[in-house]
Amino acid sequence: MTPIDPDTARNVGLVVFDVDGVLTDAGIYWTDPVDGEARGVRRFDVRDGMGIYMLSGADIPVALVSGKDSPAVRARGYELGIDEVHQVHPARKVEVVREMLEARGLGWGQAACLGDDLPDLALLRRVGFPAAVADATREVRDVARWRSEARGGHGAVREFAEALLRARGEWSTLVEEYVAEADRE
């Protein structure tokens, strides 16, 4: 796992994740029509969910900002306890994140973003800590200060969360708190 600079990690006050290609493998699977309507299906990695849970345990706000509207994304965000789930036109990603930062009294330098493709590029160029999944496009890789070893939808979010929390010196404590909670009789 590639380490993250501790000072950079401690400065992060908001983590933004793209969805398609970051939380998913970038595939959208269509079902055969049911009642005349095909439905799109997305695959999420459960370990990525645990990474988001650990970020929340460290009181680091998490946001999902996607360029597509999907009931599955809303449901996954709700399941993970994420209050900030925004599905907007890709050209509005910067505006939405700016509003979240202002609401929290944070600046761009305090935001981290994990992205994979061109719709994330403007946002990645603004945040203080731009990151990319292993299979991100060249343009995204070129602006990223950190890159996962895992592909999008296959543990990249978990890897990012763990690297960030390790750099902050919080990972081991959070793991032990989680295990203690799970071990209660």
Is residue 1, in this structure, part of any structural domain at all? no
Evaluate whether 144 touches 132 at the Cβ level (below 8 Å): yes
92 pLDDT band, cuts 50/70/90, is very high
Of 2 and 151, which is predicted with more confidence? 151
Kind of pairing, strands 62-66 and 14-17?
parallel
- The reply to whether the predicted model has a pTM over 0.85 is yes
- Residue 72: inside a domain, yes or no? yes
Domain that holds residue 140: 6-182
In a domain, 151, yes or no: yes
CA atoms within 13 A of residue 132's CA, in its CB half-sphere: 21
Which residue in the block uniquely carries the two structure tokens 């990012």? 160
**Closest C-alpha among 122, 123, 110 to residue 164:** 110
34 CB-near residues (< 8 Å, 6+ apart): none
Q: How high is the pLDDT of residue 175? A: 97
Whether residue 126 lies inside any domain: the answer is: yes
Task: Answer yes or no: is 140 within a domain.
Answer: yes
Cβ-in-10-Å burial (0-12, 13-18, 19+) of 155 comes to buried
pLDDT (0 to 100) of residue 36 = 82
> What is the layout of strands, in order, in the sheet containing 111-115?
84-87, 62-66, 14-17, 111-115, 129-132, 146-147
Q: Output the CA–CA distances (angstroms, integers) from residue 23 to 4, 50, 90, 161, in the order listed.
A: 20, 12, 16, 12
pLDDT at residue 120, rounded to an integer: 97
Share of the chain above pLDDT 90, in %: 83
Domain assignment present for 43: yes
Domain count, the chain: 1
Average pLDDT, the chain: 95
| CATH number of the domain that residue 67 is part of | 3.40.50.1000
